[in-house]
Amino acid sequence: MGNIGIYEWTVVLIGMGTVFIALIGLWWILEGFSILSSRIARKKAGGGEAPARTETPPTAPGSGGIAPETVAAITAAIAAATGRSASQIRIARISPSQPGPAGLNTPVWGYANRLAAGRR
Per-residue pLDDT reduced to its tens digit, 95-106: 766 665 555 566
Mean pLDDT of 34-53: 74
Q: How far apart are CA 93 and CA 62, in angstroms?
A: 10
**pLDDT tens digits, one per residue of 47-84:** 545 455 555 445 454 456 778 898 889 889 888 888 88
Asked whether 61 and 68 are in contact (CB, 8 A), the reply is yes
